[in-house]
Amino acid sequence: MTIESKMTIIDVSGPFREPREPVFSYDYSIQRSNWPMPHAVRVKVGIPEELDVLRSKLLGPVTGTPGQQLLISQVLSRRIADEKVRIAEADGQLLERREVVLPPYSGPEAHRFARLEEWLERERDVLRAEIKKRVNL
């Protein structure tokens, strides 16, 4: 039995809008010391079922310019994607050397959404401060 090496995130790009899907996606490049090369993980953040729900729980009804709304979406969707990578790593979904797509936590993956809500509660003050600073709300 071998002990898996620690995962390192090499790079992240995004957000991208997926065609025909109401999601933002981020592409992560992950590496482990025992892998010969990094592998890709695409994380999809569902706009109506993840981003909008968590934004509402975090900020309530948000006003602001369209530019501020876009920046809030970018900041929060990236933090959600980062947390989904941590959840997937904890669940062992990223142990194999293969490309992975993490779908929105709805439908068959809805059972994982509660972990995003728990994270939001733990990080509420930090997230609000980051958004306030970046968006000037």
One digit per residue, the tens of pLDDT, for the chain of length 137 reads: 345 678 999 999 999 998 999 999 999 999 998 888 999 999 999 999 999 999 999 998 877 888 999 999 999 999 999 999 999 999 999 988 888 999 999 999 999 999 999 999 999 999 999 999 998 87
Q: Is residue 113 part of a domain?
A: yes
Give the three-class secondary structure for 90. Answer: helix
Task: Tell me if 83 sits within 8 A of 75, measured CB to CB.
Answer: no
Q: Is residue 130 part of a domain?
A: yes
Task: Tell me if 134 sits within 8 A of 128, measured CB to CB.
Answer: no
Q: Is residue 2 part of a domain?
A: no
Q: Is residue 1 part of a domain?
A: no
Q: Is residue 3 part of a domain?
A: no
What residues make up the domain containing 31? 8-135
Q: Is residue 110 part of a domain?
A: yes
Q: Is residue 55 part of a domain?
A: yes
Q: What domain count does the chain have?
A: 1
Q: Is residue 21 part of a domain?
A: yes
